[in-house]
Chain A
Amino acid sequence: MILIAIDHAGGVPRRAALELVSAARALAADGEELAAVVLGAADAAPVGEAIAAFVPRVVRVEDAALERPSHERRTTALAAVARELAADVVLLGAGRAGQAVAPRLAQRLGGALLEDAAALRREDGGVVAERLAYLSRAVLTVRAQASPVVASVKPGAYPVATPADAPGLVTTVPAATDAGDGVARPGDRRPAERGRVALEEADVVVCGGRGLGDAEAFERLVVGLAEDLGAGVAATRAVVDAGWRPYGEQVGQTGKSVAPKLYLGLAVSGAVQHLSGMNRSGTVVAVNKDGDAPIFRVADYGVVGDVHEIVPALRAALAGLV
């Protein structure tokens, strides 16, 4: 039995959750059963229905405290379902929450953790993962030696699944007994100034570096081009450190890891730490004044030139395309 934990937002499964379905189908042995678990308040009911189109069995754990669950509550709820279903493998998306919950869950279940897996397969009856290490420069093949196996799966590593032939069955259960006193509680949220394409789910990412000069140029050139392309906006650490952009947009070792179909780096030099967050991207475009910038070594298309001239020309050329 493979159990997948479904991340959702706004009443629909996140893209990463539908990627997990593909990962689970690829991993499943002949006749092995798949199930999904959805944690949430009453308003998560549509998520259960939506995911039932993909897997034969859905367990929806409903509890008001699961609307914004702490890692502890999430772990307790997932552990209860994993035990109830005697899951051999539990898959989570390796977003921020998944990367925090997967180790806790594996530890609680006495199992093994395969972290941030770029690929999963069965080998000699065991579960094997490929994962990146050393700032994404090395690939390690790691085998789980304990059961159950809890794996967090890298966003973008698997395609979004297609619906199953027949819809699955949804059961709704209450949350397991309280996680105890030692639980973190959610506080205030501070929304970003405006809604943007979620960086880790974006097909196109436009990233700006310190070479843009100032925050105004970043807004005009990077955000402008990103809006034309319906792309996610990303920044290098130097840009975030300078206070031009929020941490949530940082790509690299200490920020997010992205793998869009198209990545455009504008005045990005390409430090090792930044490359570790984007080197799985499909097609890479780099625009930089310095022809020796390391970003050109990982670029499919390199333009040595001034972003202040190239980007307006690029936006004009794109406008002619549609």
Chain B
Amino acid sequence: MIVATYVKHVPDVEARLAVDGARIDLDAAAFALDGMDEYGVEAAVRLKEAGIATEVVAFALGPARSEAALRTALALGADRAVLLETDDELDALAQALPLAEAVRACGATLLFVGGKQADWDSAALGPAAAEALGWPLCDWATEASLVDGELVAIHDVDDGSEAWRAPLPVVVTTQQGLNEPRYPTLPNIMKAKRKPLDRQPLVGAAPRTVTLAAALPSRARRGVRLEGDAATVAAELVRRLRDEAKVL
């Protein structure tokens, strides 16, 4: 079976943000493969190592710099990569259609997508891609395995966890805990440079939302420091929570 895994090139979590008109200016930021997507790459590569997957194909959708995220995925063990290249800002629904088409074209029967994107804080691409493909979705997987040709995944719910089974083909969105992603080794980084990476221009995708404005709000906090011995501090904190903040 062929396993597909989606990766996104996102700004470093510590990157300083600035607003430029209606967009967040990321020109000065360092970018890397989204940590949430590493779980999917790792899961796909492990399926290949276990002799279950025959090929692991990594997909990215975005500007030319996204190639770096794909090279990381290749260094982690993906066999080849496809970049659907566009500078347009496309929402998850608009991205899902060409991604689904490309995934279907490669013959994959399993697609991993990170549970939540570190740049847009969005959890929509996996479900939207599942819908575009007409495949079931197992979301927020903390465990995933193939049993009798079906995918069995476990995710957390408010009061514990629950298992879901789905026939292939299926989309799985990943969550921390699914596995412990490996680090790329230097020899594998060198090898990744020679692995095939297919750049396809993405044209004609129609966005269904438009961003009108961006802002960097900061919530005013009281910033009160309480000092003294434990009993004094505790009494003062309780008094302020009751009388000042009125939350007790």
Residues of chain A having any CB pair with chain B under 8 Å = 70-72, 75, 96, 99-104, 106-108, 111-116, 128, 131-146, 181-192, 195, 198-200, 204, 237, 240-241, 246-248, 250, 253-255, 261-262, 272-273, 276, 279-280, 282-285, 296-305, 309-310, 312-314, 316-318, 320-321
Residues of chain B having any CB pair with chain A under 8 Å = 11, 13-14, 17, 19, 22, 24, 35-36, 91-93, 96, 115-116, 118-128, 130-132, 134-140, 142, 152, 155-167, 169-170, 173, 175-177, 207-217, 219, 221-227, 230-231, 233-235, 237-238, 240-242, 245, 247-248
The 5 closest A-B pairs by CB, nearest first: A187-B163, A313-B234, A313-B230, A184-B166, A107-B131
Residues of A within 8 A of B19 (CB): 138
Tell whether, in the assembled complex, residue A144 and residue B208 are in contact, meaning their CB atoms are under 8 Å apart: yes
Give the complex CA separation of A250 and B139 in angstroms.
Answer: 17
Given A104-B137, A112-B209, also A313-B233 (CB < 8 A) = yes
Tell whether, in the assembled complex, residue A191 and residue B241 are in contact, meaning their CB atoms are under 8 Å apart: no
Tell whether, in the assembled complex, residue B210 and residue A143 are in contact, meaning their CB atoms are under 8 Å apart: yes
Give the complex CA separation of A100 and B137 in angstroms.
Answer: 9
Contact of A182 among B92, B118, B136, B241 (CB under 8 A): B136
Give the complex CA separation of A146 and B92 in angstroms.
Answer: 13
Residues of B within 8 A of A143 (CB): 209-212
Tell whether, in the assembled complex, residue A137 and residue B164 are in contact, meaning their CB atoms are under 8 Å apart: no
| Chain B, Cβ-Cβ closest to A260 | B247
Sample of 18 further A-B pairs with CB below 8 A, known A139-B217, A262-B247, A309-B230: A102-B124, A114-B209, A115-B123, A116-B121, A131-B121, A142-B211, A143-B212, A146-B208, A181-B167, A185-B166, A187-B164, A192-B160, A200-B158, A241-B176, A248-B161, A285-B237, A301-B224, A303-B233
Tell whether, in the assembled complex, residue B13 and residue A317 are in contact, meaning their CB atoms are under 8 Å apart: no
Report B114 CB to chain A, min CB distance, Å: 10
Report A293 CB to chain B, min CB distance, Å: 12
Most A CB contacts (10 A, CB to CB) among B93, B125, B217, B234 go to B234
Tell whether, in the assembled complex, residue A75 and residue B131 are in contact, meaning their CB atoms are under 8 Å apart: yes
| Chain B, Cβ-Cβ closest to A321 | B238
Tell whether, in the assembled complex, residue B119 and residue A133 are in contact, meaning their CB atoms are under 8 Å apart: yes
Given A100-B127, A113-B91, also A134-B11 (CB < 8 A) = yes
Given A107-B131, A141-B213, also A317-B238 (CB < 8 A) = yes
Tell whether, in the assembled complex, residue B162 and residue A300 are in contact, meaning their CB atoms are under 8 Å apart: no
| Chain A, Cβ-Cβ closest to B240 | A301
Tell whether, in the assembled complex, residue A301 and residue B234 are in contact, meaning their CB atoms are under 8 Å apart: no
Tell whether, in the assembled complex, residue B234 and residue A310 are in contact, meaning their CB atoms are under 8 Å apart: yes
Residues of B within 8 A of A185 (CB): 164-166
Contact of A302 among B91, B217, B224 (CB under 8 A): B224
Tell whether, in the assembled complex, residue A138 and residue B124 are in contact, meaning their CB atoms are under 8 Å apart: no
Report A149 CB to chain B, min CB distance, Å: 9
